[in-house]
Structure formats: structure tokens, C-alpha cells
Amino acid sequence: MSAVKETFGNPFSSQFMRMRQAGPFHLVIFGASGDLTQRKLIPALFNLFLDGYAADQFSIVGFARREKSDEQFRAEMGASVRQYSRRQPESEEQLQQFLAHLHYVSGSFENEAGYYHLKDRLKALCLSYQMPSNALFYLATPPDAFPDIIRNLHRGGLVSPVFDVDGWTRIVVEKPFGRDTATAWELNGTIHAAFRERQVYRIDHYLGKETVQNILVFRLGNSIFEPLWNRRYIDHVQITVAESLGVGSRAGYFEQAGIIRDMIQSHILQVFTLIAMEPPATFDATAIRDEKVKVLKSLHLPSPEQVPFQVVRGQYSPGSLGGEPVPGYLQEAGIAPNSSTETYVALKLTIDNWRWSGVPFYIRTGKRLPKRVTDVAIVFKEPPHMIFDEAGRGSRHTNLLRLRLQPQEGISLSFGAKAPGPTVKVAPVHMDFMYASSFGASSTEAYERLILDALTGDSTLFAREDEVELSWSLVDRIVANWQSTKLHSYSAGGWGPEAADDLLKRDARDWLRL
């Protein structure tokens, strides 16, 4: 059986998911007892199985420290499917059919011995499924385990072409990818000692969201907006990623990361690059990622003196959400009582290129904000010569395009219209596209799409090494100047510190109400 081809057609076409089948594969999940495996990966794989994307010849091998039999692993993963899958199995038999493809190998990440067992097990599975040794290794562990796993996969002879002659080997690396440029660079070095770049899939689940993929289709599949997509017509852009949840049970991780590493370096800069990049010449992984890298290279890195004026950091204090009192960050379990970790960041970014010169991108993200909403607002300039008097004019946000990435996914366009009446009053009106009413509810989860892409060898929606390193340079510059950036407090359930409003007020602008 031949290995699956490395590239496919347009990954954004609606037929794309339906056309594809993953071919024979082994998917080895490191961190098989973890939260991500239970909540996201196994349910996603079950849904791919239901939709027929997986051929009959596939195995999913869990690898983790704890001793466990295949049966135990299957029972646990069956419970995850029942609890977290977007669709329930039609019958117990159907669930069992899926679970029969699950296997378990116990081993420590640091010790080579487990990897020899894994290799033996994969060989045995190749024989029983009569399939080549195509293997996707998925690192769903805490990041400190990544280097050991990668080295041991290599030493254990699991990375092709050593592993076998007729199979492919790929690796999916979860975020966080390093904690600064130096560690990302080091991790890339460790990976490249074992894998070629084309075998590496750095996952960012935001790129698996339909609405995020639609940014490119919206921009480049239409002729209406692209002519306006530049400094001549756009006044500024606002990107908001708000969450009502607090730090939850992830205190250990979050204390180290803070929201700048957790959200800005990854998800938000991904959305930002899709909004700001130049149109690629073709629709393939290299062309798209080249353009993303180009715009990241044009990003103006604030000087140490600029950081305190362009970046606002905050931490939530006790407050209330949905009428319920909620604790402050310092009162959450596992948080140091004097922690200065930020749970909110607002920043102003500028891009030094022809398209965006003079157009600020204002970004804000925070935990314990009033609601969960991810929104990109393109605020257009006012008409160059306004013939209506001040009293008759609409707000500064009259000409506005909003990409609602989640929830209530859709796009709305606002413009000024004459409000009925004897005087001329310009009032903003809206045209709305809602995914749910046009296409029905989204039929796939981000992880389904991305796992299928990795299984079929399409890396378009994964970050390349240079992209990740460049996104860290911005974060490094900001974090290096945290000392001079005051940590503001904001009440849980509010829209962040006042200083974030001042950031825009200084430019005679304000945040949109969401």
C-alpha cells in the first residue's frame, strides 16, 4: 500500500473534508491519560470514524506512564466519547467497533525501554491490520516532556525512514511551543535532529475553527473587500478574545505562562496574521505560511520605552459573573498569594509596511471578562468630506465590519443610513450573515479538522518553525519590559482595567461594545 500524498487540494473548499480519507495510520498519543486526550482528541477521532474519514486499517495507541491494559484504556476512552463527543454513538456496538482500534502501551517518557515496546507493538499492529507503518505521533503532554519523547522516538528507531521502508512518520506538537524565542529555537532544534520540517505539525486549534479559516476565504475569495483592506480605508482594527472562565484547574501552567504566552503568542497572533497578511500567490502550505511570516517580520516591535504605553496588563480581582460572586486570581487554588501573573493584556500593534502603515491593531484578551467572545472589528475611516453636521452624524464606528469568530459565528457590516424623520440624521444599520442560518450549525470541531489534516499530510493550518519563533520575538520584547508595565487590577466580570480604555482614548478611539 502506498503512503498518502503530502499535499491535497484547496483545504477550504466545502467538499474537502468529505473527499478525504486518512488512509491507513497509527496515531500514537503521548499523554494518553491527560485532559486533552479525553476531552478533545478521542472525541475528535470518534467523529472522524463516524464520518468514514478513517479507513478500516488504523490504530490509536495511547502511551503514558500508568500501567493499564488495552481493555482499561478502551473503557476510559469510551467514557470520554460518551461525555465529550459532539455526537453520541448510535449503538453500543458502533462504539465498540471504534474502541477496538484503541491500544495502550505504558512507559515513561524519559526511558528508552517504553519506546522499544511501542515499536514492537506498532509492528504487531502493522501485521494484524495488514498496513504500512504510517505513524503520527501526537505530543499531548506537558511541554517539559517534549524533548525526551522526541529524542527517544529517534533513538528507538521509530522515525522513518528508520522505522520502516514504506510508511510515513509525522509529529504533532501541542502548544505552548517554548516559552520564549530561545526555548522555541531550542525545541525546533531538538525536533529537527529527528524530523524534517515537513513532518512537523505545530498545532494551534484556532486554525481549525471554521470562522478563522473563513477569514482568508472572506478576504481572498471575494472582490468586494480586498480593495478596501489597507491604510487608505481602514482606520484601525480591534481583535478581542474574551473569556468568562477563570484559571480553573490549570493554575500550575497558567502561573508560568500568563495570558500573553497562553493566548497572544499563539491564537491571537494567528488571527492577526490572517487579517494582515498579503494575498498568497497560490493556496498551499508554503505560499500561505510565507505570507504569514512576512507580516510577522513587518510587525513593529515596541521599544522598551514604548512598551508601558502600548501594553496594558491586568489581573482579575474578586467580582461577579452572571450574578454569582467569583474569586479573584490570587484567591484561586494553586495561585501564589503574591502572584503577578497577568490574566488580561491589551496592546497596540503597528505594522511597518505599505498596506498597514499608520493603522493600529488593538488587541485585548482576558480571563473572567463578562462573556466568551472572539471578535475582529475592522473600523473604516470616516468619509473624507462630511456634509452632515456633527449632530446628524453617526458614531465613530458607523462603517464597521465585524468578523464574529465565536460564538454566534458570522459577519456583520454596519454603515450609515438616514434615520427616518424631518432632519438628516445618520444612524448605523447592520447587515448580518450568521453561519447557523446560512449553513446550519458547524459540523466539525477544530481538532477533527486538524487531526485529519495531519493524517493526510496537509500542513497549511499548522505553524511553521519561523512563524513560531517570530511570534515569540514580540512576546519576548513585551515580557522583558514587564517590570516597567504596571499590573492593573480589574474586577472579575468587568471588561478589564481602565488603563485599557485609556490606551485607545489616547488615540481618540474606543473599544467596541461586544
Q: What gap in Å lies between CA 347 and CA 360, rounded to an integer?
A: 10
Question: Shortest distance, CB of residue 482 to ligand BG6, whole angstroms?
Answer: 19
CB of 350 to ligand BG6, least distance (A): 26
Peptide bond into 360 cis (omega under 30): no
Q: Which is nearer to ligand BG6, 180 or 243 (CB)?
A: 243
Q: Please write down the long-range contacts of 80-84, taking CB distance under 8 Å and 24 or more positions apart.
A: 80/37, 80/38, 80/39, 80/42, 80/43, 81/42, 81/43, 81/46, 83/38, 84/38, 84/39, 84/40, 84/42, 84/43
When the beta carbons of 40 and 101 are compared against ligand BG6, the nearer one is: 40
What letter represents residue 227's amino acid?
A: P
**Residue closer to ligand BG6, measured from CB, 243 or 255:** 243
Determine, following the binding rule CB under 6 A, whether residue 262 of this chain makes contact with ligand BG6.
yes
CB of 187 to ligand BG6, least distance (A): 17
Mark 192-231 with x for binding to ligand BG6 (rule: CB under 6 A) and - for no binding. ----------------------------------------
The angle, 0 to 180 degrees and rounded to 10, between the axes of the packed helices 181-192 and 465-479 is 160
Cα 368 from chain centroid (whole Å): 19
Question: Shortest gap between Cβ of 405 and ligand BG6 (angstroms)?
Answer: 8
Note if the bond before 279 is cis, omega within 30 degrees: no
**465 contacts ligand BG6 (rule: CB under 6 A):** no
Asked if 348 contacts 503 with a C-beta cutoff of 8 angstroms, the reply is yes
What pairs with residue 380 in β-bridges?
Answer: 234
The residue among 262 and 284 lying less far from ligand BG6, judged by its C-beta, is 262
CB of 11 to ligand BG6, least distance (A): 20
CB 412 within 8 A of CB 437: no
Give the Cβ contact number of residue 150 at 10 Å: 25
Which residues within the stretch 306-345 sit at the binding site for ligand BG6 (CB under 6 A)?
none
**Interactions with ligand BG6, residue window 400-429 (CB under 6 A):** none
Site membership for ligand BG6, residue 76 (CB under 6 A): no
Helical ranges in 264-334 per DSSP H: 269-276, 285-298, 307-310
Smallest distance from the beta carbon of 330 to ligand BG6, in angstroms? 18
* 378 versus 405: smaller Cβ distance to ligand BG6: 405
Tell me the DSSP string of 9-76. Answer: S-TTSTTHHHH----SEEEEEESTTSHHIIIIIHHHHHHHHHTT-S-SSEEEEEEESS---HHHHHHH
Report the SS3 class of residue 225: coil
Please identify, using beta-carbon distances, which residue of 243 and 476 lies nearer to ligand BG6.
243
The residue at minimum Cβ distance from ligand BG6 is: 262
Identify which of residues 234 and 450 has a Cβ nearer to ligand BG6 in the complex. 450
Ordered strands of the 410-418 beta sheet: 426-434, 410-418, 400-406, 373-380, 234-242, 361-366, 344-349, 311-317, 487-491
* Cβ closest to ligand BG6, residue 243 vs residue 382: 243
Task: State in angstroms the smallest separation of the CB of 294 from ligand BG6.
Answer: 25
Provide, rounded to whole angstroms, the least separation between the CB of residue 121 and ligand BG6: 31
- Smaller CB distance to ligand BG6: residue 243 or 466? 243
DSSP classification of residue 482: G
Beta-carbon count within 10 A of 337 CB: 6
Bridge-based pairing of strands 319-321 and 324-326 is antiparallel
Cell of 354: 505599505
Smallest gap from residue 407 Cβ to ligand BG6 (A): 10
Q: Which of 267, 397, 430, 488 is catalytic?
A: 267
267 is catalytic: yes
Strand-pairing partners, residue 299, are 351
Rounded to whole angstroms, how far apart are CA atoms 313 and 332? 19
d(CA 380, CA 382): 7
Residue closer to ligand BG6 (CB basis): 39 or 425 = 39
Count of residues touching ligand BG6 (by CB under 6 A) = 2
Inter-residue contact 105 to 62 (CB < 8 Å): yes
Give CA–CA dist 170/135, Å, rounded: 6
Per DSSP, the three-state class of 333 is coil
Estimate to the nearest angstrom the gap between the alpha carbon of 256 and the chain centroid: 19
**Window 125 to 144, contacts with ligand BG6 (CB under 6 A):** none
Instruction: Please tell me whether residue 243 binds ligand BG6 under the rule CB under 6 A.
Output: yes
Q: Is 467 in the site for ligand BG6 (CB under 6 A)?
A: no
Q: Give least dist CB 502 to ligand BG6, A.
A: 26
Task: Give the binding site for ligand BG6 (CB under 6 A).
Answer: 243, 262
Enumerate the active-site residues.
Answer: 267
